[in-house]
Amino acid sequence: MKLLSIPIGLATSIILARTLGPQSFGQYAFIMALVPLIALPVSGGLPPLLTREIATFSHSKNWSLYQGALRVSHVWVLLVAVVVLLGYWVLAVVGLVPTDGKWSLLPIALFMVPLGGLSAVRSGTIKGLGLPAYAELPGQLIKPIVLLALLATLAWQGGLDTEAAIWCQVIGAGLMFLIASWMFLRVQPRDAKGAQPVYQIRNWRSALLPFSMIALVSTFNSQIGIIILGVLSTDEQVAATRVAERAGQFVVMSLTLVNMVIGPYIVRAHREADKKLLQDLAQKSARASLLLALPVALFLIIGGEPLIELAFGEEYAHISYWPVVILVGGQLVNVFFGSVGYFLSMSGHQNDTLKGLTLSVLVNIVFCIVLTPRYGAVGAAWSVLLSLVVWNIILAQMVRKRLAIKCSAL
């Protein structure tokens, strides 16, 4: 599904970029980068925490704790979503949040916050039950296809503008929630349906904080370039960075696929203290990911400018090529080191992941602030590359210390 979702996402970006032009496409990208940051208190670290906890409860047949985890996570999402939306409304009324220009699109995009939070609960639960393909189907395949169809129809009819594109995202999020809910109900274990919920609020709360912080810094790390460019540079430079990010996704796609599948296996191998299985999972997955990523990276670097012009248009070729080259190099580093963060998080060492991510995001922020005002998208790309190098080196050392294994391809 991920193999299909990335080219579908690329086709979506091509339609948007060609129809809206660099300035409006940059405004759209800026708003869509803000939404995950605003949604962090709502869903935050819930998906990986639920995956770990549900996998544990399912393995031990502890259906009472299973039911308790589900109820607590739903209540959390709904309560925090209301607080976040009310908080934005208050800040907008008192004038602490801009409401003109591209910022006028943000209230529309905020409809995605509660929908995304509830979908995240369903995805994390289904994945913890050992059904990663089911968990990823609504978000990785169905929503992108629906979004592509909506945008293509509007573009063909001449009705696609930035506001319409945001509304299409909201509709896609709503459909994803409905389908994820249907799947969620279908895959519930029979033995779990009649179990009385038991709650471990203190344990879950203490575990959620580091997972949420990991989500905070990783999301911030991935979106900071767009955000800072949107504030300190031009909308055109935001558009150039978004094009480059699409190229980088093709390089890291193999590692993303691995992370979607190996979570429950890491949990099981760690619980059974099977070091050999952990080492095999780590090194073989990294080598396979790198083997798939290398030819993709070379293709994008060698044929980058003509490919960008063919896909997105002549006006994007010059401003996006060097950001593409830099981000492709950064993602190759990421793939080489393997699933370092995932091995730490799924084995209960999420605090170590947080430390590495925190330092990485600080590096990204500092270099973004220094480089983007002068170098635009190229500066933002270098900031991402440096942060990826820092993140992977630190976490690789943490994996070796905590789990006594190597995650890299060598």
Tens digits of residue pLDDT in 16-63? 999 999 999 999 999 999 998 888 888 878 888 888 888 887 777 777
Percentage of residues of the chain with pLDDT beyond 90: 33
CB-CB contact of 141 with 4 (8 Å): yes
Residues 165 and 249 in one domain: no
Give the domain extent around 170. 1-199
Residues 354 and 213 in one domain: yes
What is the pTM (predicted TM-score) of this model? 0.81
CA–CA separation, 21 vs 312, rounded Å?
Answer: 9
Which domain-ending residue is among 134, 166, 199?
199
Residues 160 and 212 in one domain: no
CB-CB contact of 377 with 401 (8 Å): no
Question: Is the model more confident about 302 or about 345?
Answer: 302
Looking at residue 3, its pLDDT comes to: 64
Residues 88 and 159 in one domain: yes
Residues 168 and 237 in one domain: no
CA–CA separation, 317 vs 303, rounded Å?
Answer: 11
Look at the chain and report how many structural domains it folds into. Answer: 2
Residues 106 and 253 in one domain: no
Residues 329 and 298 in one domain: yes
Averaged pLDDT, 340-350: 79
pLDDT at 387 over 80: yes
Which domain-ending residue is among 168, 199, 230?
199
CB-CB contact of 266 with 281 (8 Å): yes
Residues 250 and 169 in one domain: no
Q: What does the block give as tokens for 26?
A: 């940059």
Residues 175 and 297 in one domain: no
Three-class SS state of 280: helix
Residues 156 and 139 in one domain: yes
Which domain-ending residue is among 199, 214, 242?
199
Residues 154 and 274 in one domain: no
Three-class SS state of 166: helix
Residues 209 and 346 in one domain: yes
